[in-house]
Amino acid sequence: MQWPGTKLQQSPFFLDIQQAVIKRRLTTSAPDYVGYLPTVSAYLQLPQPKRQQAYGAITRVLSETVEIAADIIVHLARRRSG
């Protein structure tokens, strides 16, 4: 069970907490994927020279298409009566 399901389990207001994973796989081109990376905060925190170095290293090892795991984790809970 992942957060926020763990919080729901600890709450006195909910019961029968369930977690489900909706599996999604997306594919994109390597240039589009590398173009997405500047939106990721971990890369934005790098100094500009290191960031460009990282993008170059990633570009060199990627195949033409990149598969992305974009799973959605959902939680279902019933509110306790009373």
pLDDT given at position 30: 96
Q: Which residues contact 62 (CB under 8 A, 6 or more apart)?
A: 30, 33, 34
pLDDT tens for each residue of 10-53: 999 999 999 999 999 999 999 999 999 999 999 999 999 999 99
- The answer on pLDDT for 82 being more than 80 is no
Sequence-distant contacts of 37-46: CB under 8 A, at least 24 apart? none
pLDDT given at position 14: 97
Q: What is the pTM of this model?
A: 0.67
Q: How far is CA 23 from CA 17, 53, 74, in A?
A: 20, 32, 11
Structure confidence at residue 6 as a pLDDT band (50, 70, 90): very high
